[in-house]
Amino acid sequence: MPTILDGKKVASDIKNEISARVEERKSKGFRAPNLAIIIVGDDGASHTYVNGKIAACKSVGFDFTLMHFASTISEEKLLKHVENLNSDEDIDGFIVQLPLPEHISVEKITESIKPEKDVDGFTNQNFGSIVSKNQLILPATPFGVMELLRRYDVETEGKHCVIVGASRLVGAPLGMMMTESAHATVTLCHKYTNDLASHTKSADILVVAVGKPGLISEDMVKEGAVIVDVGTTRVEDKTKKSGFRLSGDVDYDTVAPKTSFITPVPGGVGPMTIASLLLNTLKAYEDQNPEG
C-alpha cells in the first residue's frame, strides 16, 4: 500500500509552527502579520477560496484586510487600490484573487504589486528568482508541492519528474523548482504533447495539474511511482448532499495500488497551497520588519 501524502496534516503542522513564530514576535513587541485580500465580483468559487484564506489567517494569529469590489470596477481604480496597499506599511503582503473580469488585465495588475508584498509569488521578479541563488517569494502551489515532498522525505535527486500541465501558476514554476532545488530531471508536458502515456509511464515522480478528472489511468503509471495530483474539479454526484464531489486528475482507486506515495483529492495539495501562502506572508512580514 502507498504512503498517503497527507497535505491536511502537514498544513496543520505548518500552521502550528507559524502560530508559534507569530506569538514569539508579538512577545517582543511586534504586531501580527497582516495579509490583505482583494476580490472583485461575486464568483462563488473565489469567495469560497477567500473564506478559506481568512480562516487560515485567523488560525495562525494573522490580521487580515478584506477588500471586495464590484465586477464593474475599472482597471484604473483597481490599480489605485493596489498602489495604496503597496505603500501601506501596515500591510505585509496581499493577493488579488483570480479570476478577474475580462476588462481587467491580470498581467497589468500582477506586475503592479511590489514583489516583496507579492505573497502569491506571481510577479516576474519573484517568478524569475526561482532559478537564482537568491530565491524570493515562491509561487504558493508549487512551493506547497515541494514542501510536501520534503516533509515526507521523498527522494528527488536524479529522479525523473514528469509534470503534466505547463501553466504559469503550477507546472512551469514547479518544473524549475524541481530542477533547481530538487535536482530532478524534468519533463514538462502540455496540451500539445504527443503520446502523453509514453512520458507518464517513465516518471519516478508524476505531477498532474490539468483539471481533467481521471486523466491519468492505471496503465499510464509505472510501478512504485510518486503521484502528486494537483487537479481539483467539481464532479456531479447525486449521492452527496452538495450534489457534487471533488475529483483529481488521477484515477485514484486504480492508480494508488501501484504507487509508493500519492496525494488524495481533497486533502493533498489544496491545504498545502494555503499553508504556503501563510509561509510567504510570514516571510514578507519578517523581511519588512527585521528584529534588528
Percent composition of the chain: helix, strand, coil (DSSP 3-state, to 5): 45, 15, 40
pLDDT tens across 26-60, in order? 999 999 999 999 999 998 888 989 999 999 999 99
Confidence of residue 235 (pLDDT cuts 50, 70, 90): confident
Count other Cβ atoms within 10 Å, centred on residue 210. 22
Backbone angles phi, psi at 29, to 5 degrees: 95, 5
- Would residue 135 show up in a list of annotated catalytic residues for this protein? no
Provide the grid cell at 107.
498581467
- 256 & 167 share domain: yes
Domain with residue 191: its CATH number is 3.40.50.720
Contacts of 257 (CB under 8 A, 6+ apart): 1, 2
Average pLDDT value for residue range 208-225: 96
- 40 & 155 share domain: no
Please check whether residue 24 lies inside any domain of the structure.
no
- Would residue 125 show up in a list of annotated catalytic residues for this protein? no
Name the pTM for this structure.
0.94
Which entry of 97, 117, 159, 251 is annotated as an active-site residue?
A: 97
pLDDT at 69: 98
What's the total number of domains in the chain?
A: 2
Pairwise CA distance, residues 238 & 241, whole Å: 7
- Would residue 108 show up in a list of annotated catalytic residues for this protein? no
pLDDT at 234: 79
Which entry of 15, 53, 117, 159 is annotated as an active-site residue?
A: 53
pLDDT tens across 249-280, in order? 999 999 999 999 999 999 999 999 999 999 99
Supply the range of the domain harboring residue 44: 29-116
Which entry of 120, 204, 229, 251 is annotated as an active-site residue?
A: 120
pLDDT at 100: 96
- 148 & 265 share domain: yes
- Give the SS3 label for residue 46: helix
